[in-house]
Amino acid sequence: MLTGKSLVNGEWISGNTTFESQPAEGSPHSFSEMMAADVDRACRASDDAFEAFSTTSDEERAALLNKIADEIEARGDELTEVGCQETALPAMRLNGERGRTTGQLRLFAETILKGDYLDRRHDEALPDRQPLPRPELYLVQRPIGPVAVFGASNFPLAFSTAGGDTASALAAGCPVVVKGHPAHPGTGEIVAQAIDAAVKALGLPAGTFGFLQGTTLELGQSLVQHPLIKAVGFTGSLRGGRALFDLCASRPEPIPFFGELGSVNPVFLLPAAMEQRAEAIGEGWAGSLTMGVGQFCTNPGVVIVHAGEQADTFAGSAVKALQSVGAQTMLTDGIANACRAGQGRIGAVEGVETLLSSVSDNRGATPAVYRANAQTFVGNRDLQEEVFGPAGVIVTVSDDAEMRSVARSFEGQLTATLQMEESDAALAKSLMPILERRAGRILANGFPTGVEVADAMVHGGPYPASTNFGATSVGTMAIRRWLRPVSYQNLPADLLPDSLKA
């Protein structure tokens, strides 16, 4: 049952003011608006819990992750009902996302039980080494401290309250304070109830997990600036993420901000692939572009293709497929308005041809497609800004050299895609050094929507795709964000952490 409350130090509390949810369907609910004083209480509770929680065993933390997954599954019907009302996402999508959420919790549990994430190292003492002896050295990764996590608008389960940032931080041994996203406060509260139940069932410190609801900028600012918070996980807009990143950097003690901020995820259509399957690639791109109403951070918003008959076939196929897509409800009014503004910005650029206009109002959106040549695209940065929604730009190039030039023009990306055949290998190989500098994941003959939760996955990239190119927010390597290496020199065995004794 929804209470409209927030969780601080194991207690569900109310504030002095409330805000109303804005569901796509059904009646709104009231939620307490948390203030700076509540942030302070939550962060102090998290810090109080750190000493005990950071020294729990891998087995204890794995049990917590598995218990959270169990508690989420036990609330499955309620999560689907409330989530559908708040976000307009279909039940099948939310049920699948719930499975992804519980699956990554259990995957992280399996990962920490293996112990490889700790990167244990040992240099034996060499007392007789000349000219100087070598001390005995141990190294292991240790938790960094309390972590603040910001829920994402577009994934109310997998990237929010118990999503990858929270799950990986708890796996690392860091208490977490979550700032719930106001686009789906009810969904967030239900998941927070599940985590709270798991923490209490296992007798862990009350401050192991906190959950704060609110709509104000001050709430988020207070959280990232609190001196007891030692790292931040964020998925959201470039503007909002950059503002929080700057606050983290300007603190008296700067802290890492692991932000996933946005990407246009370029798709390069190579000649042989176009000769064989231009029409099919157009249909596939249309499906990826409109998946989830284009509200995925891996949405393939830009396609680069050699000008000519095959490019026209591709564009015609994509537009035909997109014309059959009716208006879809976006996550929030604000996102829908921003999508319309972005589509208008692209369409207004001189030299850009509109192939398919968007007809949308209120919270609805229909696809839009534009075409520009390489000179227009490279010369106008507006065309490289992410439009969070079903909008795509087709960029035509005159030759391979111009395709490489367009590739070099991109800023950091989450993904880059090559649609290719075997005879495209030479061109693909010439693009690889360019794309490796700009993308965290490079894929062939697919589309980037859909991010596998696995050991080898990277969901991140050079700025502005993310604020830390050496990290990932998806996959088991995500745990390493919340750890730091500590070296132990000539310490007695009973002073070494238990993680070195395994």
**CA 297/CA 262 separation, integer angstroms:** 6
CB 229 within 8 A of CB 43: yes
Q: Active-site residue 297, yes or no?
A: yes
* Catalytic entry in 71, 260, 386, 402: 260
| Residue owning tokens 């696809």 | 367
**CA 177/CA 150 separation, integer angstroms:** 9
At 305, list the tokens.
């293709």
* Catalytic entry in 84, 297, 339, 386: 297
CB 466 within 8 A of CB 127: no
Collapsing DSSP to helix, strand or coil, 387 comes out as coil
| Residue owning tokens 């700009």 | 438
C-alpha to C-alpha distances, 353 to 145, 304, 474, nearest whole angstrom: 51, 15, 36
In sequence order, the 6+-apart residues with CB closer than 8 A to the CB of 273 are 281, 419, 420, 421, 424, 445
Please name which of 465, 476, 471, 159 lies closest in space to residue 299, comparing C-alpha atoms.
Answer: 465
Which amino acid would we find at residue 97? E
In sequence order, the 6+-apart residues with CB closer than 8 A to the CB of 1 are none
C-alpha to C-alpha distances, 169 to 144, 184, 231, 260, nearest whole angstrom: 9, 22, 10, 16
DSSP state of 500: G
**CA 240/CA 259 separation, integer angstroms:** 10
Collapsing DSSP to helix, strand or coil, 67 comes out as helix
**Could you give the residue numbers annotated as active site?**
260, 297
